[in-house]
Amino acid sequence: MIPLFGYMGFGNMQSRLNSDGSVNIRGTEAGYFTDLKTGQIIDSWDNPWTNETVKVFPFINRKMRGHLTTKMPKFIMGNAALDEPTLMNQADARKDLATVPFLLPWQKLGDQYLLTWEYSHEYTNPVTKDKWPKAHTTNRINPSEHFSFYTPVREMNDRSILSSPFHAGFMRTSPWWPWMKMGQNKINGCLFGRMHSYQITGTIDDIPAPVLKKVEKDHPDILEIQTGWGQTNPKGTWEAYAEEIAPEILPN
């Protein structure tokens, strides 16, 4: 295992409980890569395999919208016409029923509620080889993320508290990020990441100082309360890269 870079960010979420018992969610999120020694956000990175200095691609998402019902959520990623949607928490889901119910494996231990949930995608890579040969690694990509939440029973059960504090652990595996430009390499490997997550105050004081400074300068709108609800498909790094980064090879 080779340490490559750090990662830090935040999410800004709001939810609405509807009269039919369903829940709307909306929000924004930002993720930045950091230097392992200084902890500061980096704009470029020296690839140890290619010896190329590449431009880092931070993740900024303004399109988080969802509608939660009694059915387990499915995520439409990649090519909707070809790729099967990802079922949330597939390992624990009650797939023996006609409709998979939205039941999560909550446990109570002492004064804490514990929850694990995850998703494991596999879908068509939108960063295609014909347009981004250096950023493209494989025709299909399979990122997965795994969460463990710990939230205090008293605060969770108190309906006067609109948003309970929590601490969480997070792990992720995925192919090489497209901005690493590993497409021309034959390195047999993948990315593995782990980090802490938390909500302590529920305010901007929870955001790591380097991230808050960067967002206030470059994307202050994602710190604000959002407007509108609705439903959008999730947007991952590969989708954002294909939308925002010009092709390496332009069509004739």
What is the DSSP code string of 131-152? T-TTT---SEE--EEEEEEEEE
Give residue 252's pLDDT: 58
Cβ atoms of 53 and 47 within 8 Å: the answer is: yes
CA distances from 165 to 150, 160, 198, 201, 250 (A): 9, 13, 7, 7, 48
196: Cβ contacts below 8 Å, ≥ 6 apart: 167, 168, 169, 170
| Angle subtended at Cα 199 by Cα 158 and Cα 229, rounded to the nearest 5 degrees | 80
Give residue 177's pLDDT: 97
Give residue 250's pLDDT: 67
Longest CA span, the chain: 65
* pLDDT by 10s per residue, the chain, length 252: 899 999 999 999 999 999 999 999 999 999 999 999 999 999 999 999 999 999 999 999 998 999 999 999 998 888 888 899 998 888 787 877 778 999 999 999 999 999 999 999 999 999 999 999 999 999 999 999 999 999 999 999 999 999 999 999 999 999 999 999 999 777 889 999 999 999 999 999 999 999 999 999 999 999 999 999 998 888 889 999 999 999 997 665
The rounded distance, in Å, linking the Cα atoms of 38 and 61 is: 26
DSSP 204: G
Cβ atoms of 176 and 53 within 8 Å: the answer is: no
Instruction: Indicate the residue type of 215.
Output: V
Give residue 188's pLDDT: 85
187: Cβ contacts below 8 Å, ≥ 6 apart: 49
Radius of gyration of the chain (CA): 19
Nearest Cα residue to 238 out of 26, 40, 77: 77
